[in-house]
Amino acid sequence: MYELILAHIARHVTLDKQEQDAFCAALQHRKLRRRQYLLQEGDICRHDHFVIKGGLRQYEVDADGRENVMQFGFEDWWISDWYSMLTNTPTVYNIEALEDTEVLQIERIKLEQLFITMPKLERYMRIIMLNAFVALQRRVLFMQKPSAERYAEFLRRYAHVEQRVAQQHVASYLGITRETLSRLRSQMIKQRGEKL
């Protein structure tokens, strides 16, 4: 159960067996059914979550009742609301399982305690948070591109995800309507056919 998260950590830092055991002992395994919430708007986020199986979407609901997907989280990804977790304030996000999902979660307080005894783990989480910050900056630039470019980039970066996510969620992530997404998909299929 811990192989995936330990492999993820090993890509950034090396933990010895004792450190691995201490980290894994702090993790909680949680299963979610499709459409079950990991976090809901108004809750205070107290855990960081690593996806070991399945997929999630993180979204907020705007004043007009539209769902705006911020990110997806699939196997080998971290997902959480770090702002809520770090400031101890209610989240504006919902994190919902798109399919049956399993995560390993760690409480912020346990993570902070491990940082004291395991500086390498603190370095690892700093790398994860910096990568999340870079992803957020890329997302801002991404949303400024024309819709066709956004969709093409989505397919390049998340090709393995598209078939696992409902089209309405892909459209929301891209900031377009389902009709626009359908039109973009048709145009792309037509262009591929002309190139063959």
DSSP per position, 34-45? TT-EEE-TTSBP
* Short-list 147, 160, 157, 158, CA closest to 188: 147
Q: What is the pLDDT of residues 99-156, one digit of tens each?
A: 999 999 999 999 999 999 999 999 999 999 999 999 999 999 999 999 999 999 999 8
Query: Does the reported pTM lie above 0.85?
Result: yes
Kindly report, residue by residue over 62-113, the tens digit of the pLDDT: 999 999 999 999 999 999 999 999 999 999 999 999 999 999 999 999 999 9
- Half-sphere exposure of residue 184, counting CA atoms within 13 Å on the CB side? 20
| DSSP letter string, 72-131 | EEETT-EE--HHHHHHT-B-S-EEEESSSEEEEEEEHHHHHHHHHH-HHHHHHHHHHHHH
pLDDT at residue 160, rounded to an integer: 82
**158 confidence band (pLDDT: 50, 70, 90):** confident
Name every residue whose Cβ is closer than 8 Å to that of residue 70 and which is 6 or more positions away in sequence: 58, 59, 60, 93, 139, 173
What number is the average pLDDT over the span 12-23? 97
Architecture in CATH for domain 3-117: Sandwich (2.60)
Q: CB of 33 within 8 A of CB of 69?
A: no
Domains in the chain: boundaries: 3-117
Contact 19, 97 (CB under 8 A): no
Are 185 and 177 within 8 A, CB to CB? Answer: no
Residue (of 89, 90, 108, 93) closest to 49 by Cα position: 108
Q: How many Å apart are CA 97 and CA 173, to the nearest integer?
A: 16
pLDDT digits (tens, 9 = 90+) for 8-17: 999 999 999 9
Q: Are 84 and 91 in contact, with CB atoms under 8 Å apart?
A: yes
